[in-house]
Amino acid sequence: MGHTGYIHSLETFGLVDGPGVRFVVFLKGCHLRCQYCHNPDTWSGEGTAWTAADLFNHVRKYKPYWKNNGGITVSGGEPLLQMDFLTEFFALAKQDGIHTALDTAGEPFRQDTAYLAKFDALLQVTDLVLLDLKLMDTEKHRTLTGAGNENILALAQYLSDHHKRMWIRHVLVPDITDDEKDLTEMHRFITTLKTVDKVEVLPYHTLGRVKWEQSGIPYPLDGVPTPDEEAVKKAEALLHTNEY
């Protein structure tokens, strides 16, 4: 019997979540409560139920549009909360020669034996990991997201040690994730990783604010502006994004 996943939404022609044209699957459920989250409607676990096989049969119809360098990206929410479903779905994709990318914030990662056995099985059918690094200071990270970052950094190290290609992504929020010292430390950490192909700075935007309001949740970054081009370039220089 196959695994059932709970889906928030599907994007048929994604252009920013991995190489080439992507079919992006957004899963439900996330333990983090990031103050700048643009998908707070993914936090709860209820969503449209799909079996891995049914979802794959739906998605693969778009394969001609992906050409040589596109494929499937699974995002969220937090995909690692539905790891059994995700592994089965990606295994079907790899059997069909499709490139797979996992977009994760890394919070569920644990280093116990049972978890790592499942995680290693997922890595075998994952071509690329898009890893969101928010802050290096764990207490500031806890204030921003509700959780520390130790296991997230451990995930990055684990991916490097196990030769898994990754893109590092950093959401730039004025006066919150743009601290020069923290960005310098983040760059130093990234240089210790052996499998990073790209580092991206993603400017904070307020497009998700309406979802907070629709959910009846006070928007915590009320009044925080989007970063200007100069701020983005400064962060890119501190993270040395042109080196990857």
Q: What is the pLDDT of residues 119-171, one digit of tens each?
A: 999 999 999 999 999 999 999 999 999 999 999 999 999 999 999 999 999 99
Q: Could you give the CA distance from residue 113 to residue 187 in angstroms, rounded to a whole number?
A: 30
Q: Could you give the CA distance from residue 19 to residue 147 in angstroms, rounded to a whole number?
A: 30
pLDDT single digits (tens) 34-45: 988 878 888 887
What residue ranges in the chain does DSSP mark as E strands?
Answer: 4-14, 22-27, 48-51, 71-75, 99-104, 128-132, 166-172, 196-203
∠ Cα 99 149 19 (to 5°): 20
Tell me the pTM.
0.95
127: tokens are 């071509």
Residue 145 is predicted with a pLDDT of: 94
Question: In this model, does residue 206 exceed pLDDT 80?
Answer: no
Residue 21 is predicted with a pLDDT of: 96
Residue 1 is predicted with a pLDDT of: 56
Query: What are residue 24's DSSP bridge partners?
Result: 11, 73
71-75 β-sheet, strand order: 48-51, 4-14, 22-27, 71-75, 99-104, 128-132, 166-172, 196-203
Residue pointed to by tokens 């700048």 = 36
